[in-house]
Structure 1
Amino acid sequence: MNQPSRLTLLLSALILSHAAGAATPDEQAAALFAPYAKAGAPGCAVAAWRDGKPLFEQGYGAASLEHEVAIDARRTVFDLASTSKQFTAAAILLLAQDGKLKLDDDIRRYLPQLPDYGTPITIDHLLHHTSGLRDYLALLNLSGVDDGDVSTSADALAAIARQQGLNFQPGSAYTYSNTGYFLLAQIVEKVSGQSLAAFSKARIFEPLGMADTSILDDHAKVVPHRATAYRPDGPAGFALLMSNWEQTGDGAVQSTVADLAKWDANFYQPKVGGAWLVEQLQAAGKLNDGTPLHYARGLMVDQYRGLDIVAHGGAFAGYRSELIRLPKLKLGVAVLCNRPDAAPARLARQVADIYAAGEFPAAAAAAEPVPVALADPARYAGVYWNAREGMLRRVDAQDGKLWYAAPGMKQELLPVAEGRFVRDPQRMAQPAVFTERTLVVERPGEPPARFERVSAGAMTPAQLAGVAGSYHSDELNADFTLRLKDGKLWMTVPRFGQQPLDNVFADAFGAAGIVLRLERDRAGKVTGMVAYLGRANGMKLVRRG
């Protein structure tokens, strides 16, 4: 006779609990992770703590499908991806505290191989994502480097040094950039004489007793108890989704939910860096014109249900992570997962809701949005373009509803007034507002994104033939070929084969998150293209034939 599964036992316990009365907080938290409580699937580890005392700590699913090893909340190590950035920021601040660098130093003082763009880029620009530097992950990917390839710090530095322009003037705007934090790791190495991994171990991890935490800067190094990352493959299967990139600073911290609780405790009783470090990590940035940001130094500072929240998430290869803190309640939650379809940011906040039930300000309980009828939903449909951030969005009208679409994402726009919509009914802070020719979209933790409505592309086959040809980019160190096939343009991308190009608007083509805008001479002949990838924009592709 088969033994009942862990999930069956959990659901049975919840049913009995509800029959006897309300479920306990631990039972409610466990129910959130029930979908991941399967021995034959990757999952998540979760921990919640308050005032230094553990509230809930559990692992769900498999750390290794090959070896049938379950996730252990205290021992299983995950790649934190971008949640790592707070540790890089802490390392820089410790060096500033030591008097070995200043936050307003020009980064070329330490990294002279970087181009001079005419305006100094400071260490603080890197910390606050206001440098304008193009994201090296996008640069390497477009030049043909896959996440599974071995990629080194030297590769990333070379890609960054090839760039002839910026996304924007330093300090004038905010765009999340992995380049900035990668370069911070290089500065730590230049100033301290140690790798970021060695410096962080000596100055942060060991003093806090984070024995299971390290920074992985060698893809061949064995990390004890590390969870393998997977992606869904077929109806019930999984395939490996790991990375062999060796860059640090923007990611690469390996840790457990138990160790993250020790790091969180440093924000209340700082053993590392003192009160100054805690204050500086959480000091929000601002633009040159004084516009405040929600991004501090390696941390996002915002509001959640009427309370201050400090948080950061991460996503790389098949790993997903989230670490949040509600300072007023001294409540922290960490969720680490080894599958890309998990949603740790949502799960972490739901766990916080459970253990802080009744303690959020009453005024923060927002009413559910009430949809209104639209006279003509199709009037908002169309193509919208944000040139500064290199982002293309579509708004589609289907069956009386509006849908907001970007590469890999589609959300319903819920109308709450004529011209005003909510992208996520659970977060009223994310409205989308239409005017005559623009769409302004609120984003959590970032300034709003402003899109201009553009006319849909309609190039004839003869015109498309005039675009076909070979192109080279010095900035990407790569060649690209465009061919006309069956009335459609196809682009050969290094290592990744042919990609179909859609004529998304006049003289612009899009494919898998890339937008290419044509450049012409006075006679109208196509001489090149400019590539936009969102976090890396303005790369030149010059026509060679």
Structure 2
Amino acid sequence: MSSSIRKISCKMILLALVVVSVGANWLGAQTPASASAPTSTLQSAHTEGAAADLNDAAGLTAFMDGIMKVQMDNFKIPGAIISIVKDGKILFGKGYGHSNIEKGTLVDPETSLFRIASTTKLFTWTAVIQLVEQGKIDLDADVNTYLKTVKIPKTYPQPVTMRHLMTHTAGFEEGGVGYQITTDPKKLPVSISETLAKHMPAIVRPPGEMMSYSNYGTALAGLIVEEVSGVSYNDYIQKNIFNPLGMKYATVQEPIPASLEPYAMLGYARENGTFVAKPPTFEGGFRPAGSGAVSANDMAHFMIAHLQDGRYGDQHILKAETTRWMHSPAFQFDKRLPAMDLGFIEKRMNGLRVISHGGADTLFTTELYLVPDKQIGIFVSHSGGDGGAAAAGLLQAFFDRYFPAQAVERPPVSAELEHAVQKYAGSYQFTRRNHTDIDKFFSFLSQISITASDNKLSIGSGAEQQVFAPIGPDLFQEVGGMHQIGFRTDASGKVTHLLLDILPDMPLEPTPLTDQSTFWFPLLGISAVLFITALTGFAYRRRAIKAMPKAQKWAVRLSAVTAAWALATCFATFVVVLNMDLLDRLSRIPQSLNLYLFMPIILVGLTAALVAYSVMVWKNKYWTVLKRVHYTLVALSAVVMSLFFYHWNLLGWQFG
């Protein structure tokens, strides 16, 4: 699974995003932005100073040891590995904590296998480029040209190509509820082709139009590697990447091969103040997107090969020109912001261009950063705890120490730009979301609100607020910080997309009114109040109701039953569905979810009957006008709630 959501700064997002990825937010270390900072001179929030000597081995070790000691205590992390390479050599490699707490086994950077989740994608993309070099894959050909067992429907005139898969622009919606992972090794091995055929997401935007990070797209690329080469995905990666690079403690096989099982890291969760070992997760048929398990030193070999134009020692896994091509921008939201390369995701760290990929599952968090201009690579992986926050803090501290940011002088901004910020304000949602399945509901709370004030844009409020000032057309710089956000607009000037520079692979787009939680919450709140009044009225007027004619009596009873059922369904939606354990949600369909889904259907039936009775109430002039109005409002509230369940794909069993 992707770690991209995990890496969002809590100051940048300010939401507990309910998404397929898991774990903690990327905790920002900067001082809260000051809204009064001048827009003409925006500089790094990090302290400037002389860069430390990265070749000072003792200083590097002491620095890393100091950070890890604090982080493992503060973030409750049982085990971690780090490897740093420079100029074709391993500069630093070390393990921290335990790989097996019960046995007291220490983490070994040479042999301890950490689950790297979505960082596995880099192996898949490297394999694709190898086949491109051999003339077996054309990045711009229809992927159906290469697929034998699965065919992608032609939803749009443009075909899906391998370039689209590598840049996450194929247009696939997000999915995963009930099938993305498993914890049961008895269900393995699983065919990639059968899995992708069974769980094919819809294509919801034209290929090549916009990025939307996709595990399915990467798994599809892995299937193409398998079917074009004639070799299974596992064997291809082993023979063409791991073996040439001398990666003896690396595998994409699930479960881990028996020969490597003694070196597998256990994943831990914190329960009642102690670490408790949890079963590993498996990607099954999605393994090209996240099944890797690798040691720190072996990952160093992979980083060296990519930094040295495909060469490790006397072995070449890629040609120099294609390696550099793979590391170059392949899709750009805005040329002024980090791009999406062929598989690698660009970042900016203290002014340096970094190509990277992270990964996360329920127990492990991984980051891999390459700095081609400095011939430096960094790999860090954590088992358990708040690994996302730890990795972000460690990497920023590393760059601050060895490549400190410099102040950036920017020219004054025109008054026209400063006074045109209001059009950027509003609610935005990620392009990476579901449209057609029950998964859609899990993005209900995943929106970002941007406000405009004093010719600046703000995300969040209070101590967590970030303020951005315009520095160019559709481009904003964090006041007192290094982050940037950019917008795309159409010919009329209307905003169509938003990009946060820390998430260049996952843009956002304006949230339609019917997708906004601020639209639904008031409606649901008003409906709930009306339902409560219907129930209290029924309770207090029992004697009067008993004396009513039969038809009126049944009308009141139906109103009360519908109100009670609607409240129960709404309560179950937010307590049962949104509170589902993430591991359960992605690995199986719990019986509780299957049972819950009867509730909205029954509500729709009750609503239809209540609407029909509302017509009868007015036609036959039951009760007073005021009571008829109230009865109708209760019926309309039931309609609103039914529409809510319909809109968020909670009517029926809509599983991907």
Is the 2:141–2:162 contact (alpha carbons within 8 Å) kept by the matching residues of 1?
Answer: yes
* Equivalent AA in structure 2 for residue 197 of structure 1: N
1:334 aligns with 2:379: yes
Q: Secondary structure at the match of 1:278?
A: helix
Structure-to-structure mapping, 1:58-77, within 5 angstroms: 58-77=94-113
Q: CA deviation at 1:163?
A: 4.4
Q: Provide closer, same or farther for how the CA distance between residues 59 and 193 of structure 1 changes in structure 2, counting only shifts above 3 A.
A: same
Choose from 263, 271, 274 the match for 1:225. Answer: 263
Structure-to-structure mapping, 1:275-424, within 5 angstroms: 275-286=320-331, 294-343=339-388, 345-350=391-396, 352-353=398-399, 356-357=402-403, 362-363=406-407, 384-386=427-429, 389-390=432-433, 391=443, 392-393=446-447, 404=460, 412-415=464-467
Q: Secondary structure at the match of 1:88?
A: helix
Could you say which residue in structure 1 is the equivalent of 2:88?
52
Could you say which residue in structure 1 is the equivalent of 2:170?
131
Structure-to-structure mapping, 1:179-258, within 5 angstroms: 179-218=216-255, 223-240=261-278, 242-246=280-284, 247-258=286-297
Could you say which residue in structure 2 is the equivalent of 1:450?
509
**C-alpha distance in 2, partners of 1:289/1:26?**
39
Q: Which has the higher strand share?
A: 1
TM-score w.r.t. the length of structure 2 is 0.59
* Equivalent AA in structure 2 for residue 362 of structure 1: Q
Could you say which residue in structure 1 is the equivalent of 2:215?
178
Q: CA deviation at 1:213?
A: 1.5
**C-alpha distance in 2, partners of 1:121/1:464?**
49
Deviates more, 1:170-179 or 1:326-335: 326-335
Q: CA deviation at 1:126?
A: 0.9
**C-alpha distance in 2, partners of 1:166/1:288?**
20
Could you say which residue in structure 1 is the equivalent of 2:59?
24
Q: Provide closer, same or farther for how the CA distance between residues 46 and 348 of structure 1 changes in structure 2, counting only shifts above 3 A.
A: same
**C-alpha distance in 1, partners of 2:61/2:126?**
33
Q: Across the two proteins, how many residue pairs are aligned to each other?
A: 451
Q: CA deviation at 1:121?
A: 0.9
Structure-to-structure mapping, 1:259-274, within 5 angstroms: 259-266=298-305, 267-268=307-308, 270=311, 271-274=316-319
1:148 aligns with 2:186: no
**C-alpha distance in 1, partners of 2:505/2:570?**
37
Q: Secondary structure at the match of 1:362?
A: coil
Is the 2:77–2:382 contact (alpha carbons within 8 Å) kept by the matching residues of 1?
Answer: no
**C-alpha distance in 2, partners of 1:500/1:404?**
34
Q: Provide closer, same or farther for how the CA distance between residues 241 and 305 of structure 1 changes in structure 2, counting only shifts above 3 A.
A: farther
**C-alpha distance in 1, partners of 2:109/2:96?**
8
**C-alpha distance in 1, partners of 2:652/2:478?**
35
Q: Secondary structure at the match of 2:154?
A: coil
Q: CA deviation at 1:235?
A: 3.0
- Structure with the greater alpha carbon radius of gyration: 2
Is the 2:487–2:495 contact (alpha carbons within 8 Å) kept by the matching residues of 1?
Answer: no
Task: Structure 1 unaligned segments of length 5 or more: list them.
Answer: 1-22, 367-378, 466-481, 508-521, 533-538
Q: CA deviation at 1:129?
A: 0.5
Identity among equivalent positions (%) equals: 19
Is the 2:81–2:95 contact (alpha carbons within 8 Å) kept by the matching residues of 1?
Answer: yes
Q: Which has the higher helix share?
A: 2
Q: CA deviation at 1:496?
A: 6.3
Is the 1:113–1:161 contact (alpha carbons within 8 Å) kept by the matching residues of 2?
Answer: no
Is the 1:88–1:184 contact (alpha carbons within 8 Å) kept by the matching residues of 2?
Answer: yes
**C-alpha distance in 2, partners of 1:64/1:263?**
26
TM-score w.r.t. the length of structure 1 is 0.69
Could you say which residue in structure 2 is the equivalent of 1:121?
160
Q: CA deviation at 1:209?
A: 1.3
CA RMSD of aligned residues (A): 4.6
**C-alpha distance in 2, partners of 1:322/1:49?**
14
Q: CA deviation at 1:281?
A: 2.3
Q: Provide closer, same or farther for how the CA distance between residues 71 and 423 of structure 1 changes in structure 2, counting only shifts above 3 A.
A: farther
* Equivalent AA in structure 1 for residue 365 of structure 2: R
Deviates more, 1:227-236 or 1:383-392: 383-392
* Equivalent AA in structure 2 for residue 101 of structure 1: I
1:452-506 Cα deviation digits (max 9, x unpaired) = 47543223149989xxxxxxxxxxxxxxxx96344734247631635999x9xxx
Q: Provide closer, same or farther for how the CA distance between residues 70 and 96 of structure 1 changes in structure 2, counting only shifts above 3 A.
A: same
**C-alpha distance in 2, partners of 1:439/1:116?**
26
**C-alpha distance in 1, partners of 2:223/2:150?**
12
Q: CA deviation at 1:177?
A: 0.5
* Equivalent AA in structure 1 for residue 103 of structure 2: H
Task: Structure 2 unaligned segments of length 5 or more: list them.
Answer: 1-57, 411-421, 434-442, 452-457, 533-563, 578-588, 605-638
Q: Provide closer, same or farther for how the CA distance between residues 463 and 290 of structure 1 changes in structure 2, counting only shifts above 3 A.
A: farther
Q: CA deviation at 1:530?
A: 4.8
Is the 1:432–1:439 contact (alpha carbons within 8 Å) kept by the matching residues of 2?
Answer: yes
Choose from 102, 111, 123 the match for 1:87. Answer: 123
1:309-364 Cα deviation digits (max 9, x unpaired) = 1111111121111111212221221111111511354245236426624xx56346
Q: CA deviation at 1:83?
A: 1.1
By relative contact order (CA 8 Å, sep 6+), the higher-ranking structure is 2
**C-alpha distance in 2, partners of 1:383/1:219?**
47
**C-alpha distance in 2, partners of 1:99/1:446?**
28
